[in-house]
Amino acid sequence: MSTDDVRGRSVSGNRSLAGAIAAAVAETKGVAPESLPPLYESIDPDALERLFAPCNDGTSRARGRAVFPVAGCEVTVRYDGAVSVRERGE
């Protein structure tokens, strides 16, 4: 895969944000999610979930994103649950 290719995934149903990130990174790298290093080696998954959780009044977040490295990829998580992954160049 070229470093310009971006894979995307959205959080839906009962899948956690951490699960969506693992699935997207695994798909991008062409490996099983279980073969990836634990997400907590790159970012605190609980803090990430809280960052994008609904507001106190129950409304969805209106903006925001987090960008961080995972297993040689750059992961971007948006306020709406969209996860995009791009392999980083060496």
In the chain, domain spans:
6-87
List alpha helices for the chain, DSSP H: 17-29, 45-51
pLDDT of residue 10: 54
Instruction: Name the pLDDT band for 11 (thresholds 50, 70, 90).
Output: low
Mean pLDDT of 60-80: 92
pLDDT at 4 over 50: no
Interval 25-54: pLDDT, tens = 999 999 999 999 999 999 999 999 999 888
Query: What are the b/e assignments for 4-33, b being 16+ CB within 10 Å?
Result: eeebebebeeeeebbbbbbbbbbebbeeee
Structure tokens at 18: 């951490």
- pTM: predicted TM-score of the whole model, two decimal places: 0.80
Angle (nearest 5°) at CA 68 between 26 and 40: 70
